[in-house]
Amino acid sequence: MLQSKLPHVGTTIFTRMSQLATEVGALNLSQGFPDFASPQPLLDAAMRHLAAGHNQYAPMTGLPRLREQVALKVAGLYGRAVSAESEVTIVPGATEAIFCAVQALIRPGDEAIVLDPCYDSYEPSVQLAGGRCVHVPLNLPDFSVGWQRLRDAITPRTRLIFINSPHNPSGALLSRADLDQLAALIRDRDIYLISDEVYEHLVFDGAEHASVLAHDELYARALVVSSFGKTYHVTGWKTGYVVAPPVLSAELRKIHQYVNFCGVTPLQHALADFMAEQPQHIVELPAFYQAKRDLFCDQLAGSRFTFTRSPGTYFQLADYSAIRPDLDDVAMSEWLTREHGVAAIPVSVFYQQAPADMRLVRFCFAKREETLLAAGELLCRI
């Protein structure tokens, strides 16, 4: 009998809820992806590069012209001059990057600290490297970091801390002061960071994204992960990048070259064209998504859900205590999908151990106006 290396892992909640939404014909506000078209010039560029014959392997580290664009962006937004050659790696998706980064950092017996609720791929990546995740819950209700709890969780075996800002599923943001606290905490310790910044451009109400890329001390021991999928409305392209100091990039690349070797060539060309030709896209992104958040929240305000507007990401949490306090959040998400035609994601699945009285579901508002209005109407009827 084969002994599973991941005995507690099943099909992810994202797959299950999207399947259920399709099965029952519900509006799918569960798995995070846009239901609107990707930018036409980006699609045109992809077709152009396919037709031009850019269909063979890309360099293992990514097309130089795309790495250059990433380096320019990092310099422009975060004030860091990074080498496109030795510090930027193009990867087939942030998920692959996280997996490879973990394999590079974690040895058997090592501990990695995750802040719950956290993205579902972190823990299996650590387990497959022979390590163990130590779960530190974020403070409720604002999902801020409990610094004393984090300090208490550090042991001589701690090798890695994951941070994720803007945060999936809560939308919470880390501030520059938070990054300073973190730097003080790991100073003089042999601890590395994976900073999951896939929603870096989705910050609202005038807030600025506090990137590890703008923090000298943290950057020195970090791998910063981003995803073109979120930024350019192409989650299915599974293309992302990692920025890390040369030594860490070199270790990441040793793994990446045997997991996937390289990302998809014509898509990398298309992204490089688009980044060069449409620099305003990322500037306009916060307002674009804030309008969607507000449209959805204005609808939700007429329902019995309670919420505070999400500060970032394309997710909105909603508390359903006033509606079905008898249901846990998995049952609530299924009930919403089957009985009310709107699919959501339960928040407890992002936890090792969610608080028993937590009554939160996550809605994705990366949707067309008509989808958000229709969903709002259904949710207001409950």
Residue closer to ligand GLN (CB basis): 32 or 312: 32
How many angstroms separate the CA atoms of 109 and 252, rounded? 20
Whose Cβ is closer to ligand PMP: residue 265's or residue 303's?
265
Distance of alpha carbon 344 from alpha carbon 334, whole angstroms: 8
By CB under 6 A, tell whether 94 contacts ligand PMP. yes
| Calpha distance 204→165 (Å, rounded) | 13
The minimum distance between CB 264 and ligand GLN, in angstroms, equals 18
333 interacts with ligand GLN by CB under 6 A: no
Tell me how far apart the alpha carbons of residues 133 and 126 are, in angstroms, rounded to a whole number. Answer: 7
The least CB distance from residue 14 to ligand GLN, in Å, is 3
**Cβ at position 17, least distance to ligand GLN in Å:** 9
Interface region with ligand PMP, contact rule CB under 6 A, candidates 93-101, 104-112, 275-283, 327-335: 93-101
Single residue of 66, 71, 160, 198 touching ligand PMP by CB under 6 A? 198
Span interacting with ligand PMP, options 91-99, 202-210, 328-336, 338-346, rule CB under 6 A: 91-99
Would you count residue 335 as binding ligand GLN (CB under 6 A)? Answer: no
168 binding ligand PMP? (CB under 6 A): yes
Binding footprint of ligand GLN, residue count (CB under 6 A): 5
Under the binding rule (CB under 6 A), the answer on residue 14 touching ligand GLN is yes
Contact partner at residue 240 from ligand GLN, ligand PMP, none, CB < 5 to 8 Å by partner kind: ligand PMP
Residue 31 binds which of ligand PMP, ligand GLN, none (CB < 5-8 A, kind-dependent): ligand GLN
Omega prior to 169 cis, within 30 of 0: yes
Under the binding rule (CB under 6 A), the answer on residue 196 touching ligand PMP is yes
**227, 231, 303, 337: which one contacts ligand PMP (CB under 6 A)?**
227
The least distance separating ligand PMP from the CB of residue 196, rounded to whole angstroms, comes to: 5
Per-residue three-class SS string for the chain? CCCCCCCCCCCCHHHHHHHHHHHHCCEECCCCCCCCCCCHHHHHHHHHHHHCCCCCCCCCCCCHHHHHHHHHHHHHHHCCCCCCCCCEEEECCHHHHHHHHHHHHCCCCCEEEEEECCCCCHHHHHHHCCCEEEEEECECCCCECCHHHHHHHCCCCEEEEEEECCCCCCCCCCCHHHHHHHHHHHCCCCCEEEEECCCCCCECCCCCCCCHHHCHHHHCCEEEEEEHHHHCCCHHHCCEEEECCHHHHHHHHHHHHHHCCCCCHHHHHHHHHHHHHCCHHHHHHHHHHHHHHHHHHHHHCCCCCECCCCCECCEEEEECCCCCCCCCHHHHHHHHHHHHCEECEECHHHCCCCCCCCCEEEEECCCCHHHHHHHHHHHHCC
CA distance 38 to 34: 9
Minimal distance in Å, beta carbon 128 to ligand PMP? 16
**Closer CB to ligand PMP, 227 or 303, in the complex:** 227
Q: Which is closer to ligand PMP, CB of 281 or CB of 376?
A: 281
Binding to ligand PMP by CB under 6 A, coded x per residue (else -) over 105-124, reads --------------x-----
Q: Does 32 bind ligand GLN (CB under 6 A)?
A: yes
Of 119 and 320, which CB lies nearer to ligand PMP in the complex structure? 119
- Determine, following the binding rule CB under 6 A, whether residue 229 of this chain makes contact with ligand PMP: yes
**Which residues 6+ apart lie within 8 Å of 94 measured at CB?**
196, 198, 225, 226, 227, 229, 240
Judged by CB under 6 A, does residue 92 bind ligand GLN? Answer: no
Is 310 one of the binding residues for ligand PMP (CB under 6 A)? no
Please, which residue, 229 or 341, has the CB nearer to ligand GLN? 229
C-beta of 226: minimal distance to ligand PMP in Å?
8
Residues that bind ligand GLN (CB under 6 A): 12, 14, 31-32, 168
The footprint of ligand PMP (CB under 6 A) covers 32, 93-95, 119, 164, 168, 196, 198, 227, 229, 235, 238, 240
